[in-house]
């Protein structure tokens, strides 16, 4: 088992303007909570959190080390981002019990090459980018690989039931849900028909008026 990433945290005082001062000081307000646990107001270093979050995301257990000496196994459960600056401005940490199963959404990483794309000129369609799983925290995968080389024809489909998961991990999504497939390339006739439909739809949008060429206006 690999050593978990460790993030240092300090207790913070609540109050008007406190969070603004924390952010000016290069720290992010945060909260720690969990089942049967009273929530704790914390703060973490912006730079340290950014580094760890880029590696762990929201589906990898990390160790939260408080200044009091307490250590907790947590998931980064939610992150607030300033819409203007794009900077992290708040983080939620969910404390997990290592002996109890948890549920999480795991990103899918598509690997390989689909023969139906390379040889037949089809278009790869990724219907899902993550799947839900249930397992003990120590078994939680960071990502799951999906080999698209199984897509040899336009009739082939990769479903949730085809996704290979590590031992001790159970997928909670509907096993028949399609993960990926390859669509036939559109013919020239289909593309022309699609362009015509889009042009017709645009003229129906309220406030959009199709201009009449000057030559047509004079002859009218």
Q: Is residue 209 a part of any domain in this protein?
A: no
Same-domain status, 67 and 106? no
Predicted local confidence at residue 4, as pLDDT: 80
- Per DSSP, the three-state class of 10 is strand
Q: What is the CA radius of gyration of the chain?
A: 25
Question: Bridge partners of 147?
Answer: 111
Predicted local confidence at residue 212, as pLDDT: 47
Q: Is residue 19 a part of any domain in this protein?
A: yes
> What CATH number corresponds to the domain at position 145?
2.170.120.20
Q: Is residue 129 a part of any domain in this protein?
A: yes
Per-residue pLDDT for the chain (220 aa), expressed as one digit of tens each? 567 899 999 999 887 788 989 999 999 999 999 988 889 999 999 999 999 999 999 889 999 999 889 999 999 999 999 999 999 999 999 999 999 999 999 999 999 999 999 999 999 999 999 999 999 998 999 999 999 999 999 999 999 999 999 999 999 999 999 999 999 987 666 556 656 665 555 555 555 554 444 544 444 4
H/E stretch holding 29? strand 27-34
Domain boundary among 95, 116, 133: 95
Domain boundary among 46, 69, 95: 95
Question: Bridge partners of 75?
Answer: 94
Q: Is residue 193 a part of any domain in this protein?
A: no
Same-domain status, 63 and 118? no
Domain boundary among 62, 95, 128: 95
Predicted local confidence at residue 151, as pLDDT: 97
Is residue 176 within 8 A of residue 161, CB to CB? The reply is yes
Question: Bridge partners of 66?
Answer: 9
Domain extent, residue 56, equals 6-95
């Amino acid at each position: 088992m690999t050593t978990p990433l460790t993030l240092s945290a300090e207790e913070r005082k609540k109050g008007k303007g406190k969070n603004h001062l924390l952010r000016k000081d290069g720290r992010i307000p945060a909260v720690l909570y969990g089942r049967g646990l009273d929530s704790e107001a914390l703060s973490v270093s912006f730079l340290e959190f950014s580094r760890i979050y880029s590696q762990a995301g929201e589906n990898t257990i990390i160790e939260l080390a408080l200044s009091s000496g307490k250590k907790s196994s947590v998931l980064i459960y939610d992150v607030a981002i300033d819409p203007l600056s794009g900077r992290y401005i708040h983080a939620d940490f969910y404390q997990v019990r290592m002996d109890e199963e948890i549920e999480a959404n795991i990103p899918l990483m598509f690997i390989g090459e689909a023969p139906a794309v390379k040889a037949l000129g089809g278009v790869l369609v990724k219907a899902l980018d993550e799947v839900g799983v249930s397992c003990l925290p120590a078994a939680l995968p960071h990502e799951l690989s999906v080999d698209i080389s199984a897509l040899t024809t336009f009739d082939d489909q990769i479903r949730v039931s085809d996704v290979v998961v590590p031992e001790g991990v159970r997928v909670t999504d509907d096993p028949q849900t399609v993960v990926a497939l390859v669509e036939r390339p559109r013919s020239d006739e289909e593309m022309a028909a699609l362009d015509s439909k889009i042009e017709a739809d645009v003229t129906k949008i309220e406030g959009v008026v199709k201009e009449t060429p000057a030559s047509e206006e004079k002859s009218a």
